[in-house]
Amino acid sequence: MADTWNSADKFNREALQWDENPQRRAVALVVAQAIIAAVKPKKTMHALEFGCGTGLVSMEIAPLVKTFSAIDTSQEMLAVFQEKINTSGITNIETSCTDLSASTETALKEKRFELIYSSMTLHHIDDTSGFLNRLSDLLSFGGIVALADLDLEDGLFHDDPLEKVHQGFDRAELAALLQAAGLQVMSFKTIYTFNKTNRAGIAAAYPVFLVTATKNQPVTPE
């Protein structure tokens, strides 16, 4: 049961079994492939993933960039990820238990990234508009934000009816919020569909989009 937007306890409980779910591994791989195809990560890039969880997507992207900041609000998800990092030989990943949506959070204040992305995390963050503004501040000019998440759903995707989440996103509304945060939408694509029996016992399809957006250098008047 969860009655707050802070989902750390839930994910702490689920961390050790997280990677056992084949659909989670499948969607993570598809998201990684879609981001790689859309963004073409380079060894010069500084990348940030928020809501990295156990690193299912991060482990695919980190080897392609220069530095990789992986943040999450669940210590236990990060502990599983850190174990993978330790045995992988990958040396450019820095993990941190950080909630970027908290107004008091300053851990990344001085940093800028050429790539910021997430997979299935945006719907866990209450103030989408404020959060996109925060991402925009952290993005370099010419950088790309890539967000994979659920399209507007019937409210039955999550098993716990009390879990506080957005019930997916309307693409036009999310595009408007990105625009308002100073980010120009490049593309919106359906990249995956969860086929699952929802908590009402109905077999349903839940599409996942990847939206990419960039931050252009402001034009200074002559």
Ligand X SMILES: C[S@@+](CC[C@H](N)C(=O)[O-])C[C@H]1O[C@@H](n2cnc3c(N)ncnc32)[C@H](O)[C@@H]1O
In the complex with ligand X, the residue whose CB is nearer, 37 or 141, is 37
Spell out where 73-112 has E strands: 93-97
Does the protein bind ligand X through residue 101 (CB under 6 A)? yes
The residues near 194 (Cβ < 8 Å, ≥ 6 apart) are: 23, 27, 150, 157, 205, 206, 207, 208
Out of 32, 34, 47, 56, the only residue in the binding site for ligand X (CB under 6 A) is 56
From the list 207, 204, 183, the residue with the least C-alpha distance to 193 is 207
Out of 32, 41, 53, 145, the only residue in the binding site for ligand X (CB under 6 A) is 53
Give CA torsion, residues 175, 44, 94, 210, to 10 deg.
20
| 12-26: b (≥16 Cβ within 10 Å) or e | bebbeebbeeeebee
> Amino acid letter at 24?
R
* Shortest distance in whole angstroms from residue 142 CB to ligand X: 25
Q: Which of these segments, 39-47, 69-77, 85-93, 108-116, binds ligand X (CB under 6 A)? A: 69-77
In the complex with ligand X, the residue whose CB is nearer, 9 or 170, is 9
* Angstrom distance (rounded) from CA 116 to CA 49: 6
- Structure tokens given for 158: 């999550």
Query: Is 168 within 8 Å of 178 (Cβ atoms)?
Result: no
Phi, psi (rounded to 5 degrees) for 139: -90, 135
* Shortest distance in whole angstroms from residue 117 CB to ligand X: 9
* Shortest distance in whole angstroms from residue 159 CB to ligand X: 12
From the list 202, 189, 188, 115, the residue with the least C-alpha distance to 155 is 202
Q: Which of these segments, 95-103, 106-114, 188-196, 209-217, binds ligand X (CB under 6 A)? A: 95-103
* Shortest distance in whole angstroms from residue 101 CB to ligand X: 4
* Shortest distance in whole angstroms from residue 219 CB to ligand X: 33
Does the protein bind ligand X through residue 11 (CB under 6 A)? yes
* Shortest distance in whole angstroms from residue 107 CB to ligand X: 11
In the complex with ligand X, the residue whose CB is nearer, 101 or 215, is 101
Q: Which of these segments, 32-40, 47-55, 81-89, 162-170, binds ligand X (CB under 6 A)? A: 47-55
Binding residues (CB under 6 A) for ligand X: these are 7-8, 11, 24, 28, 50-53, 56-57, 71-74, 77, 99-101, 119-121, 124-125
